[in-house]
Amino acid sequence: MKKKILFGMDIGGTNTVYGLVDENGMLIDHSGFKTNKKPQIDAYVKIIVEELTAMYKKYSADYELVGIGIGAPNGNYFTGSIKLPPNIPWIKDLNLVRELKKYFDVPIVLTNDANAMAYGEMIFGAAKGAKDIIVITLGTGLGSGIIVNGKIVYGYEGIAGELGHVCVVPYGRHCACGKDGCLETYASASGIKRTVFQLIAEHDGKSVFNKITFDRLTSKMISEAALDGDKIAFEAFEYTGNLLGLALANASLITQPEVIVLLGGLAKAGDLIFRPTIKSFEEYLLPLYRNKIKIIASTLKNDSAAIMGAAALVWNEMDRK
């Protein structure tokens, strides 16, 4: 009898990555391609079908494909649709589940990319064993996946978990979503760049960033400068952590998680971001909540967290039925 296997896939603004995961959660094989390689719906679906088919062919003698799990920006679990993903402007409304169903006669599950990552962290990663979890990806923007009692919080239409757009500073920074003061305009790789420029404006102080344009600045440069003793860079992490801690405390007062996992570029700054975040987080919690909720770094590679999480979601679906 053939062993069971399934595909996990993560669609990002830059890369589309996928892999075959077995029943034990082992990543058997993985690959990927540039999301913009074929910037048209039909061509994009075609390349996915071709790539998955080719990879599965290598293993089909020993394995039976039993499902496909997909994480995608603005992916809707209920409808199977990807709608106006901010980083992939050529996708307006792609029902990827329906499209792939034409080629693969297996259960196909699609959800928000941050939800898939959160699920991956719960099953395989830093939050293993916990059932109440918040996972935050600090990339160009801020993504979040919320897990309550072992289940992803989808909300009544499947689009819950937008912590990046809670307002932390009323009448604050303008966000691409159209609102002002959203968390992701502060706590993200692009947010901390804005903070550096704000601090230069406010302090008129000496900083290595006085000689760098906004376009060239990266969050990695900010963390390197902070470690080198640059005051503005250090202050930028304090400012970011303070607001991130506030938002995480507010969210924790709603779902009381056991673990909060931070991943993505900005989380790689380690102590520089974790220390001020945890300090502020504890201050904004109710006394009864304090010194219990762990804020920790992801232990999975970014790519594999999403692939594994998307795959694990399908196993979970099959268990339910």
Residues that bind a second copy (CB under 8 A): 83, 130-132, 146, 148-149, 151, 153-157, 159-163, 165-167, 170, 177-179, 246, 249-251, 253-258, 283-284, 286-289, 292
Residue type, 164: G
Smallest gap from Cβ 203 to a second copy, in A, equals 21
Smallest gap from Cβ 225 to a second copy, in A, equals 27
Smallest gap from Cβ 112 to a second copy, in A, equals 11
- C-beta of 78 vs 90, nearer to a second copy: 78
Q: Which helix (H) or strand (E) holds 252?
A: helix 231-255
Beta bridge partners of 133: 147, 259
What is d(CA 110, CA 81) in angstroms, rounded to the nearest whole number?
A: 8
What is d(CA 245, CA 275) in angstroms, rounded to the nearest whole number?
A: 10
Which residues have CB under 8 Å from 151's CB, separation 6+? none
- Residue 278 buriedness (CB in 10 A; 0-12 / 13-18 / 19+): buried
Smallest gap from Cβ 207 to a second copy, in A, equals 26
- C-beta of 10 vs 184, nearer to a second copy: 184
- C-beta of 126 vs 233, nearer to a second copy: 126
Which residues have CB under 8 Å from 183's CB, separation 6+? 142, 163, 164, 165, 166, 167, 168, 243, 244, 247
Tell me if residue 239 falls in helix, strand or coil.
Answer: helix
- C-beta of 6 vs 110, nearer to a second copy: 110
Tell me if residue 230 falls in helix, strand or coil.
Answer: coil
- C-beta of 59 vs 154, nearer to a second copy: 154
Smallest gap from Cβ 258 to a second copy, in A, equals 4
Smallest gap from Cβ 89 to a second copy, in A, equals 16
Smallest gap from Cβ 153 to a second copy, in A, equals 5
* Count of helices and strands (H, E) across the chain: 8, 12
- C-beta of 127 vs 226, nearer to a second copy: 127
Which residues have CB under 8 Å from 296's CB, separation 6+? 126, 259, 260, 261, 262
**Tokens 């990927």 identify what position?**
32
- C-beta of 146 vs 273, nearer to a second copy: 146
- Residue 308 buriedness (CB in 10 A; 0-12 / 13-18 / 19+): buried
